[in-house]
Amino acid sequence: MRLNVTVNGESKQADDVWAGESLLYVLRERLGLPGSKNACEQGECGSCTVYLDDVPVCSCLVAAGQTEGRRVRTVEGLADGDRLDPVQQSFVDNGAVQCGFCTPGLVVAAHDLLGRVPDPSDEEIREALAGNLCRCTGYEKILDAVRSAALATEGS
């Protein structure tokens, strides 16, 4: 089937999409957007997290056909040109990135949290990131990054 979907503000088309294909596969393999990572394909790790119509979802569990006519925003769509989003900048500044595999999903999840709750408590941060696994950092630096991104966005 042919898929029409708006990705990061641009109308995109993909052809020969298989009925059982995931949004993650379309993004990575057909639209050249490898930012969203494929690690588990079963909703456990969150590294494929993207916005679907402003709601964070695991793109590995969304059938591509379900996104027909809808809006997707991936980690590639967060920065403003060369200027990183405050959440991205904060991950860099706080050493929250080691191998980086979990980073795109965590950045999208944290971006969503700060959009809804500008000044989250530690409990709220932990709850919001509960669907994202990181095997490297031990999470402390990630929590630091989200806390300081909250401060940075508050000031702006």
Partner 1 sequence: MDFLRPATLDEALAVKAERPGAVPLAGGTDVMVELNFDHRRPEALLDLTGIGALAEWSITDGQVVLGAGVPYTRIIAELGDTLPGLAMAARTVGSPQIRNRGTVGGNLGAASPAGDTHPVLLAAGARIEVASVRGTRLVPAEEFYTGVKRNALDPDELITAVRLPAARGLEQFAKVGTRNAMVIAVCAFALVLHPERAGVGAAIGSAAPTPRRASEAERFLAAELPWDTPGALPDSLKRRFGELVAGATEPIDDVRGSAAYRRHALAVLARRTLTWAWNDHQERGKSCA
Ligand X SMILES: Cc1cc2nc3c(=O)[nH]c(=O)nc-3n(C[C@H](O)[C@H](O)[C@H](O)COP(=O)(O)OP(=O)(O)OC[C@H]3O[C@@H](n4cnc5c(N)ncnc54)[C@H](O)[C@@H]3O)c2cc1C
Residues 5-34, mask of contacts with partner 1 (x by CB under 8 A): -------------xxx-x------------
- Pair of tokens at residue 42: 């079963």
Query: Could you say whether residue 68 binds partner 1 (CB under 8 A)?
Result: yes
Is 134 a residue that touches partner 1 (CB under 8 A)?
Answer: no
By CB under 8 A, residue 1 contacts partner 1: yes
Task: List the structure tokens of 20.
Answer: 């059982």
B/e letters for 8-39, b = 16+ CB within 10 Å, e = fewer, are: beeebebeebeeebbbbbbbbebbebebbbbb
Judged by CB under 6 A, the residue of 43, 95, 100, 118 near ligand X is 43
Under the binding rule (CB under 8 A), the answer on residue 109 touching partner 1 is yes
Distance CA 60, CA 62 (A): 6
| Binding residues vs ligand FES (CB under 6 A) | 38-41, 43-48, 58, 60, 97-102, 134-137
